Structure 1
Amino acid sequence: MSSTPAPAAPPESSEEAPRTVHPVDEILPAPKLAVYGMQHVLAFYAGAVVVPILLANAIGLSTEQLIHLINADLFTCGIASIIQSIGFWKVGVKLPLLQGVTFTAVSPMIAIGLAAGGGTDGLLVIYGAVIVAGLFTFLIAPYFSRLIRFFPPVVTGSVISIIGLALLPVAATDAAGGAANFEPTNAKNMAYALGTLLLIVVIQRVFKGFLATVAVLAGLVIGTLVAFVLGDAHFDAVATSDWFGVTTPFYFGWPKFSFAAIVSMIIVMLITAVETTGDVFATGEIVKKRISKDDIARALRADGLSTTIGGVLNSFPYTCFAENVGLVRLTRIKSRYVVAAAGVIMIILGVLPKAGALVAGIPHPVLGGAALAMFATVAVVGIQTLSKVDFDDHRNVVIVATSLGLAMYVTAVPDVAKAVPSWAEILFGSGITLGSITAIVLNFVFFHVGKSRGPAVAGTPGELIRLSEVNAMDQETFTRTFGGIFQGPTWPVERAYGFRPYADTLDLRRAFQEALFSTTQEEQLDLINSYPDLGPAGGQRGADSLRDQSSLGLERLAEAEQEELTDLAAAYRERYGFPLIICVREQTSVEDLLQHGWERMGNPDVQEHAAALVEVAKIAGHRFDDLVAGANPIHSARRRHVSPE
């Protein structure tokens, strides 16, 4: 009969141990929900109405029809935002993401409408394509989400940065008077824009708490009041607008279905799915919540459902609005119920044309000043994500540089889209689209297709170290180069040096493995104790540790997962006297990691010592692969080629 103590049970999940609510799920008092929600609406409003305005002007709709399109757009935006932020069943990512009409669809919709004769006839063909594309997106959401492994930090960071940078010209155009009254040399426009931006900065610097979080709203309101006093803000449309107006399904008639139009809109939604994925990752970074493939699927289902509803309620394709991602980062208000409140406000605006006309009275330069802060903040989130990327690997440099360069090329010179065939205009018509697809494709080519080039690579781009150079190293240089393979003590690396010369990279790998296992139990225990506990604190033990733990998002766990992981680590350390070591990179989910950890609690001490050492070897193997290209052909083939789930 074994005297081994019974394994500790996982923490109870009953109501006896209530967990702290994550900031995303916090329900704020009604007054704060209203104020924060209105701030989101004001930040979003200009972008929300520009799509129906551009479309109506292009296909020849009347002013009355345009007003109905704007009301329908706001009404459906509200419904879509509630679906995305509150969620139900497997629909909605339940993050503070506000939904709006995607700009990617503008050019294709205009082309579809004009091809169908323009006017209402063209609008009906657009709606038919929108409805089918929305259903298509809803159905493919779980399959698209499986591609999440193709969105490492080098891709998501690039996409997020591109979104922020590509939107800055939109803010700059508003700051200069808007597209219709573009006056970049107008000093008054500049004064309004920079004054609003300065006001937002000052409020955030001087005030704390509630006032600091509504800095954008305060900047917009104060800027508009100043412009009104000086005669530059006009609200004439309020008097001429109706008090009440409700959009009805198929207001313009039953939709018409064209195969070519449907294919075009499906392509739009596939591209939009990439942008949505980037926005979800950006928001996950901001609110410190790990994003899984299920989250991506839920977000895309919400996009698809909202797009279908848009086609029914006389609106257009929907996606997560990047503009409001920046507002979440800027205000640090992470509650998804704030976005739900914004959705309610938009529904109200959608049935109250006078209220919508009042919001529309905000001068473009004032909106532009606020947008400069918000869009730049999105870019900053992308930069924060890219800080996790290993830029010693020149492939990552190429991915980021090329995607950013192409995105800015198209953004700075939008007319280049006219140089390509019409079918390619959808790709070259948006810097966000071109840059995002470039980052995804290059990551796929560099890391998932073909074989690695060159035998052994360590160091920095331009100073790559070959196997022959490794064999020629002195012990100090060798230890400095490979010291990060193991955490803490350097004796395994120093002993591996004694196995020189190495015939190939596999021989070099074996040297580290033999040095690890052919030593005393005391030295092994000392090495095991140098490894950090799993969780956010573990990432503070160096770049290698951060890279390991980031592969599963352990540095930004939800409150409940973090608490359970902390409990597991504490119970394990108390049971065995050393930290729980698990090769995070070989775990498929946090749930699997936790289950594996609790199962190991029943092992005898000797077995667990050996298990910990095996996990150290696995971690060392992955770090070795990070440092040495072509180090393990079998492992590299598994990592760098597409394989079924």
Structure 2
Amino acid sequence: MKKESFDEKVGWGRMLLVGFQHVLTMCPGTIAVPLILAGALGLNEKETAFLVSANFFTSGIAILIQVLGIGKLAGSRYPIVLGSSFAPLSPMILIGKEYGMAALFGSVIASGAVIFLLSFFMDKILKLFPQVVVGTFVTLIGITLAPTALRDLAGGEGNAGFGSVENLILGLAVLIFILLVDKYGKGIWKSMSLLLGITAGTAAGCFLHMVDIASIAQVEIFQPVQPFAYGVPEFKLWPIFLMTIFCIINMIQCIGVFSVMDEIADVETENEIKERGIRGQAVAQMITGAFNSVPSTMFNENVSLIGLTKIKSRSVITTAGIMIILAGIFPKISAVFTAVPKCVLGGATLALFGVITSSGISMLSRLDFSKDNNFKIVGTSIAIGVGAAFASDAFVNILGTLQMILSNGLFMVSISAILLNLLLNGKKAFRK
């Protein structure tokens, strides 16, 4: 990999605009996790708003750690955006209900420390992830994300007007607009396709009364994020164990992001960089727990945006990280982000998730399916992963933690591909 790959110079105007696109891209997932968590734990509106602000703040910190690095210890120094992870959402709800918020954030801190220690053995862990495993995993990421984008395009599941003709038309119009601008746009307009699509879609949403401008006016201008707002963290063995299991799933997803970056940015990431990247994510998670927030993950959709804009500068992602921190301490800014209609974001993210799927298929296309049992490994693993993701009720009679693990499609596809590769290829699996 050439060192200058991510050092390209970008003018201030383009840096701000592309950085803003990255913020808009990571917003839906970053906002959704604390909202779902707060709803499940019965938190009031003030506490919910606090969790959202804390999540913006800590996501920005995680991005800066990843992009700028902490010496040679942590951070990949890649243009990678991080936001809240869905992987540990179920155990977070369980821990919060049974043990309280102090134990919840204590488990986030402690599991981050465990992942940090595991990162020093990443060279051995990465041997379990040859191209056949990673390509299969990345392909399923795109497949499993697509229904979420489509539900958003329809207006967001559970929202009034879900599936309405207005939502569907506007969402599809945004998707087509982005694709056309990306194809026919020149210069800066081409790289702004996502932002232009979201802006135009939001403007149209205003005329259709889909944007709640009054809610923006009611939000406070400035509110610092208070660390340890729920008291001194409690470190209890079972919550820490439970959180660690799902943070390992999150770690696997982060490993997959580096493969997507290799595919899109035409680089070849060394294992040492991946180790530092996972270590940076773990350090950020410990800070996250201290500021009452949830574990972060590397966002594939933002890597896809790099493929769409063709701008892979670290300075752009650093700018996005600073914007997200400001959104955390200036709630009015985050309120503007959250005002974008769901159908508009759904149309935009459908284009990005398609890029992820294509990246996985591209990785798999370089395999020789007549050798090393690749045909069986890929086909069987994707079938198991898709089945687990979309028929999770098959495990309804399996109780507790095991049910949560088995119903996670991304875990199932990765563990299936790893085990099948080892089972069918033996020692040769480590040389692939």
TM-score range, shorter chain: over 0.9
1:152 corresponding residue in structure 2: 130
Deviations along 1:187-223, one digit per CA (max 9) or x if unpaired, are 1111011000010011112212211111011100100
Specify which of 96, 106, 112 is matched with residue 128 of structure 1. Answer: 106
Specify which of 74, 83, 87 is matched with residue 65 of structure 2. Answer: 83
**Equivalent residue of 2:373, what SS?**
helix
Specify which of 396, 402, 424 is matched with residue 446 of structure 1. Answer: 424
What is the distance in 1 between the residues matched to 2:48 and 2:27? 16
Give the letter aligned to residue 108 of structure 1: P
1:28 corresponding residue in structure 2: 10
Deviations along 1:339-359, one digit per CA (max 9) or x if unpaired, are 111100000100111111111
Give the letter aligned to residue 440 of structure 1: I
Deviation at 1:22, TM superposition (A): 2.4
Q: Does 1:211 align with 2:189?
A: yes
Q: Does 1:58 align with 2:36?
A: no
Give the letter aligned to residue 76 of structure 2: V
Give the letter aligned to residue 277 of structure 1: I
1:391 corresponding residue in structure 2: 369
1:426 corresponding residue in structure 2: 404
Q: Does 1:68 align with 2:46?
A: no
**Equivalent residue of 2:58, what SS?**
helix
**Equivalent residue of 2:203, what SS?**
helix
Q: Is the 8 A contact 1:416 1:428 kept in 2?
A: no
What is the distance in 1 between the residues matched to 2:186 and 2:272? 36
**Equivalent residue of 2:87, what SS?**
helix
Give the letter aligned to residue 81 of structure 1: I
Q: Is the 8 A contact 2:128 2:430 kept in 1?
A: no
Specify which of 192, 195, 204 is matched with residue 170 of structure 2. Answer: 192
Give the letter aligned to residue 430 of structure 1: N
Q: Is the 8 A contact 1:24 1:287 kept in 2?
A: no
Deviations along 1:479-515, one digit per CA (max 9) or x if unpaired, are xxxxxxxxxxxxxxxxxxxxxxxxxxxxxxxxxxxxx
Q: Structure 1: which 5+ residue stretches go unaligned?
A: 1-18, 117-121, 450-638
Give the letter aligned to residue 112 of structure 1: I
Deviation at 1:394, TM superposition (A): 6.5
Deviation at 1:179, TM superposition (A): 2.3
Q: Is the 8 A contact 1:142 1:294 kept in 2?
A: no
Deviation at 1:176, TM superposition (A): 1.2
Deviation at 1:60, TM superposition (A): 1.2
Give the letter aligned to residue 37 of structure 2: L
Q: Is the 8 A contact 1:84 1:91 kept in 2?
A: yes
Specify which of 14, 21, 24 is matched with residue 39 of structure 1. Answer: 21
**Equivalent residue of 1:100, what SS?**
strand
What is the distance in 1 between the residues matched to 2:411 and 2:32? 19
Q: Is the 8 A contact 2:372 2:425 kept in 1?
A: no
Give the letter aligned to residue 124 of structure 2: R
Q: Does 1:97 align with 2:67?
A: no
What is the distance in 1 between the residues matched to 2:178 and 2:430? 48
Q: Is the 8 A contact 1:80 1:99 kept in 2?
A: yes
Give the letter aligned to residue 249 of structure 1: P
Deviation at 1:443, TM superposition (A): 1.7
2:201 corresponding residue in structure 1: 223
Give the letter aligned to residue 6 of structure 2: V
1:114 corresponding residue in structure 2: 97
- Percent identical residues: 32
Q: Is the 8 A contact 2:264 2:304 kept in 1?
A: no
Deviation at 1:640, TM superposition (A): 4.7
Q: Is the 8 A contact 1:177 1:364 kept in 2?
A: yes
Distance 1:222 1:447, change over 3 A: same
* TM score, norm. by length of structure 1: 0.65
Specify which of 259, 276, 290 is matched with residue 281 of structure 1. Answer: 259
What is the distance in 2 between the residues matched to 1:342 and 1:394? 42
What is the distance in 2 between the residues matched to 1:404 and 1:640? 19
**Equivalent residue of 1:393, what SS?**
coil
Q: Does 1:256 align with 2:234?
A: yes
Deviation at 1:400, TM superposition (A): 1.0
Q: Is the 8 A contact 1:166 1:407 kept in 2?
A: no
Q: Is the 8 A contact 1:96 1:339 kept in 2?
A: yes
* TM score, norm. by length of structure 2: 0.95
What is the distance in 1 between the residues matched to 2:259 and 2:6? 14
Give the letter aligned to residue 61 of structure 1: L
What is the distance in 1 between the residues matched to 2:152 and 2:403? 25
**Equivalent residue of 2:70, what SS?**
coil
**Equivalent residue of 1:104, what SS?**
coil
1:201 corresponding residue in structure 2: 179
Matched length:
430
Q: Is the 8 A contact 1:130 1:265 kept in 2?
A: yes
What is the distance in 2 between the residues matched to 1:64 and 1:429? 32
Per chain length, whose mean CA-contact separation is higher, i.e. which structure has more relative contact order (CA < 8 Å, sep 6+)? 2
Specify which of 298, 319, 322 is matched with residue 297 of structure 2. Answer: 319
What is the distance in 2 between the residues matched to 1:59 and 1:402? 37
Which runs of structure 2 are paired with 1:181-580 in the superposition (5 Å)? 181=159, 185-393=163-371, 395-448=373-426
Q: Is the 8 A contact 1:86 1:337 kept in 2?
A: no
Q: Is the 8 A contact 1:235 1:357 kept in 2?
A: no
Deviation at 1:230, TM superposition (A): 2.1
RMSD between aligned alpha carbons? 1.8
Q: Is the 8 A contact 1:104 1:426 kept in 2?
A: no
Deviation at 1:53, TM superposition (A): 0.6
